[in-house]
Structure 1
Amino acid sequence: MSLSNQTVTSNSAKILIVDDDPSLLRLLGIRLSAAGYDVESAANAKIALGRLQNFIPQVVISDLRMEGMDGMALFEQIRIQHPNIPVVIMTAHGTIPDAINATKQGVFSFLTKPFESQELLDTVEQAIRLQPSQNEKTGETELWRNNIISRSTVMTSLLQQAKQVANSDFSVLIHSQSGTGKELLAKAIHQASNRKNKVFTAINCAAIPEQLLESELFGHIKGAFTGAERNHQGLFQATNGGTLFLDEIGDMPLSFQVKLLRVLQEREVRPVGSTQAVKVDVRIISATHVNLTNAIKANTFREDLYYRLNVVELELPTLAQRREDIPLLVQYFLNQAVARSNVPIKSINQEAMELLISAPWPGNIRQLQNVIEQSIALSSESIISANLVKNALRDDSTQFPSFQQARDHFERDYLSKLLKITAGNVSQAARIAQRNRTEFYKLLNRHHLVAESYREE
């Protein structure tokens, strides 16, 4: 049997084989290695899950019947951690019901032992074609994610998902804490899509007053309201053909959500003051740190808009969940600061690096950048010491806050005091604050305050 075609088409693609039969595991490894694949083997499902911590394959091939965790249980774990990796299940007990059940649950393919080498290689090749770009390590194909500094497996998996959905027009919702780089991920998806030569526009929905948001997104005509001295093209029209990133979508006013939903459904906008609608072709990527499921229950976010925006959801990990990226990010921020501020080249000693790797990072990557820049500014030596890093980590939480941070702190403290005064009575607290219940619930949700906990007190 000739393997030359597979060697060429599958050059260096990674395969993970899982089987508790040592002889079959060895035989499959030989066959796939001869075809040009980079093969890792695991004698059971638990070992396989350990391998997946630092080896991200293009395909997993697993036996169905194994001691302990079986092949379908392993598939469920892989689908949770790496939903884009196709899984091929092998079994000597293959039946039509088994195959139907496995494929219904999302297994890529089902091989009944004994099978021919060519059948195995053809199945693997088909699975790899689902994600062709993952085999390409260099060149322009990787430029789409150049601004995302990472080597962690959790980010590798996320970026594979992002690349996979990039060329579709499905709406993407990015969920993560503040400071994790939501806009960078949105830009990367745009760069990987067929819209990359068109406009990418970002807007923070929480930063624009409600009365201006409609004009900013949909535009307005001259004379539509006081101060509208000329026609204004909104961001939907300005981004036509490109990607519009709606950051902090969870903080969008409820009254405006229905207007956005109509635009997404009809694919047209009507500028404020105009009677004419304008067709738009825009791919929507949105992001939020808010738990939108809870917001829907609190009636502060529309369920129909949620499903329109959340066709594909990507969970961006915190910095604490990707600590292996910290040395890379530190070096990146060091290089950036040196180039921008024209200071002498700086490095960081081992003890300082260990402090950075083990720090809690509630402010995520944005906080790490602040710590590095502060350490550089106060360092009189070429090497940044552990003491400088300790001071920066301690001072980072007490530095003079930005306007937004100060406002958030005031709002959180004010709302907490109201709930204490009213013993968690939301209606009464809303009246004192001179806000309606819906808006008051939205404020509580934004600051993660639960009225019931104050009732217990």
Structure 2
Amino acid sequence: MPALSPNKRILMVEDTASVAALYKSYLNPLDVDVTIVGKGQDALTFFEQEGDQLALIILDLRLPDMSGIDVLAKVRAVAPDLPVIIMTAHGSIDAAVDAMRHGANDFLIKPCEADQLRVTVNKSLKPKSSHQSKTSKPESEYHGFIGSSLPMQAVYRVIESAAPSKATVFITGESGTGKEVCAEAIHAASTRSNKPIVALNCAAIPKDLIESELFGHVKGAFTGAAAEREGAAEMAHGGTLFLDEICEMDMDLQSKLLRFIQTGSFQKVGSSHVKNVDVRFVCATNQDPWLQVQQGKFREDLYYRLHVIPLELPPLSARGDDVLAIANALLAVFSAEEGKDFCRFSDEVADLLLRYDWPGNVRQLQNVIRNIVVLHNGEEVSKEMLPSPVNRVSGAEIASPQHNAGSEVTTSAFSPNHLVTRESSDSTPSSLSKADIEPLWKIEKRAIEAAIDVCNGNIPQAAGLLEVSPSTLYRKLQAWQKTAANE
């Protein structure tokens, strides 16, 4: 990697001295001058005194005296163009989105490798031309992804930072969120893009064949092995090996995979000859990998080998208007494939697509659009064309003020507009008046907002406390925000 010009001053705000010293050593090849402080107030004092000489701030999100977001906000108030990279060991896509909302240029999740840190710093220190700054727009398409929502912008930045490195990326996310697309994007953005990316689905291959699929076999190695065969590891030489559903891999094979990762060498099934290959590993799962470790289904040492750069893909319900962008792109593709004339959605259909929870994520949306195009004709998609359950009224719509205001008050426990009391649980019905009765959606809204506030804006954590899925909270928040905007 070419070194930057000397005398580029960087302020690193990191409260763990050993970590700060390690990361400072990672940056030595860049010929930069790194100053380390351990507290937010010390960072602000240094910034007040020497901020005009700084080229970059690397800021830990959790500091002993204040939040890194608070430091970022005060820096941004004075220096809106100074590059700031957020670093956090407690981070996720949610933390990255929050940091980017407050003006961070990029983010890294600790622990990070030397190459990953250097690439991210190098990119942040590169000067941007005035033409670039005026014409730059949020990316709506990125190596196969469609959408420019903040959660996806955070994903794109992780890919950009991680792609040039050989560090393993561990992709997690709900089924249908696009983990294979993400692996292909990492490969496409890397220096290995001119070599193959080979995908191996560890859940789709029988247990007794997966070793052969991964490492290959020689003729006669087992019944049916009529000829020698290359495995995925050998086919991916010089490129990327994508191990999908990695947590489904058999425990015996996990130990062989660990050795392969450590040494880059393997033996074909039935062979004593050792082969060496150069591959970059990307793996994915729709499960919680650490939970699989705790349950004894995934080797802990393999977890630490693979879980170098974690990348969590957001559910479709958390991506806002990306739903329509993806739906329009799919409508155009499928219409061309099927020879149909569809080119738009009605306003009612667009609203339903945005309100729906999408438990199957992008894969479900893809199936819905395919269903519409195959079974119907026309230029505009109408509500009658939507398959069930997308054409049903969503829970968020039922909970909206307009829906409640237009409905008759009922005391049935099974009514969507079932009312509950504002008073504490020891209040008796005889002591209540109509003024004391409150719609259920308002109580639910207060409970959700209180949980999010307690969790400092971390929606997945709030969802855990409320014992619901994060996508449910995202959907309800979006519905309430839309309702407020229309009032």
Structure 1 length normalisation: TM-score?
Answer: 0.59
Give the drift of 1:388.
Answer: 2.1
For 1:259 and 1:331, how far apart are their aligned partners in 2? Answer: 45
Structure 2 residues not aligned, in runs of 5+: 1-43, 56-67, 105-109, 112-119, 393-487
TM superposition shift of 1:245: 0.6
Q: Aligned pair in 2 of structure 1 residues 154, 284: CA closer, same or farther (>3 Å)?
A: same
Contact preservation (8 Å) 1:59, 1:128:
no
Residue among 74, 79, 83 paired with 1:59: 83
Deviations 1:411-447 (Å, cap 9, x if unpaired)? xxxxxxxxxxxxxxxxxxxxxxxxxxxxxxxxxxxxx
Taking the aligned partners of 1:180 and 1:334, their CA distance within structure 2 comes to 18
Contact 1:220 1:232 in 2 (8 A): yes
**What's the counterpart of residue 364 of structure 2?**
367
How far is the alpha carbon of 1:128 from its aligned partner?
6.8
* Rounded Cα–Cα distance in structure 2 between residues aligned with 1:166 and 1:368: 28
Work out whether 1:171 is the aligned partner of 2:186: no
Amino acid paired to 1:290: Q
Partner of 2:313: 316
Task: Give 1:379 shift.
Answer: 2.7
Match runs of 1:8-407 below 5 Å: 59-60=83-84, 80-82=95-97, 129-130=123-124, 132=126, 145-389=142-386, 391=388, 393=390
CA deviations on 1:205-224 (whole Å, 9 max, x unpaired) are: 00001110001110111111
**Distance between the aligned counterparts of 1:173 and 1:157, measured in 2?**
15
Give runs of aligned pairs for residues 412-451 of structure 1, distance below 5 A.
Answer: none
Structure 1 residue 127: Cα displacement? 5.7
Looking at structure 2, the residues matched to 207 and 83 of structure 1 have their Cα atoms a distance apart, in angstroms, of 37
Q: Which portions of structure 1, spanning 4 or more consecutive aligned residues, are displaced by more than 3 angstroms?
A: 44-49, 75-79, 82-85, 126-139
Q: CA deviation at 1:292?
A: 1.2
The AA in structure 2 aligned to 1:223 is G
Q: Tell me, in whole angstroms, the C-alpha distance in 2 between the residues paired with 1:202 and 1:78.
A: 25
For the structure 1 residues 290 and 131, does the alpha-carbon distance in structure 2 shift closer, same or farther, using more than 3 Å as the test? farther
**Which string of whole-angstrom CA distances, capped at 9 and with x for unpartnered residues, describes residues 344-369 of structure 1?**
23311011001000101000000011
Kindly indicate which of the two structures has a greater share of residues assigned to helix.
1
Alignment root-mean-square deviation, CA: 4.3
Show CA shifts across 1:321-364 (max 9, x none): 11220111011001111111111233110110010001010000
Change (3 A) 1:83 1:199: farther
Shift in CA distance, 127/307, structure 1 to aligned 2, threshold 3 Å = closer
Say if 1:256 and 1:78 are closer, same or farther in 2 by CA, change over 3 A: closer
| Per-residue deviation, 1:239 | 0.8
Q: 1:57 to 1:316 in 2, by over 3 A?
A: farther
Sequence identity (%): 36
Counterpart of 1:130 in structure 2: which amino acid?
A: S
Judge conservation of contact 1:346–1:376 (CA < 8 Å) in 2: no
Give the TM-score, by structure 2 length.
0.56
Q: Relative to 1, partners in 2 of residues 1:386 and 1:88: Cα closer, same or farther, differing over 3 Å?
A: closer
Q: 1:206 to 1:131 in 2, by over 3 A?
A: farther
For residues 155-203 of structure 1, the C-alpha deviation after alignment (integer angstroms, 9 at most, x for no partner) is 1111111111101000110000110000111101101111000001111
In the TM superposition, what is the alpha-carbon distance from 1:376 to its structure 2 partner?
2.1
